[in-house]
Amino acid sequence: MHGLTVRWSLADAPEDTASRLAEYVAETSHARFTGMPGLRFKTWRLRPGEWFEGCYVFETSEARREFQDRFEATAEEAPGSLIVGAPPILVEPCEVVAVAEGAAGLLAAPSYR
Q: CB under 8 Å to 71, separation ≥6 — which residues?
A: 6, 78, 91
**Residue 112: pLDDT band with limits 50, 70, 90:** low
Per-residue confidence band for 83, with pLDDT thresholds at 50, 70 and 90: very high
What is the structure's pLDDT at 70? 97
Residue 77 has pLDDT above 90, yes or no: yes
pLDDT digits (tens, 9 = 90+) for 22-45: 999 999 999 999 999 999 999 999
The gap from C-alpha 19 to its chain's centroid, in whole angstroms, comes to 15
Summarised one tens digit per residue, pLDDT across range 93-102 is: 999 999 888 9
d(CA 9, CA 73) in angstroms, rounded, equals 19
The three-state secondary structure class of 19 is helix
Quick check: pTM over 0.95?
no
* pLDDT recorded at residue 113: 55
Domains and CATH numbers, the chain: 2-95 (3.30.70.100)
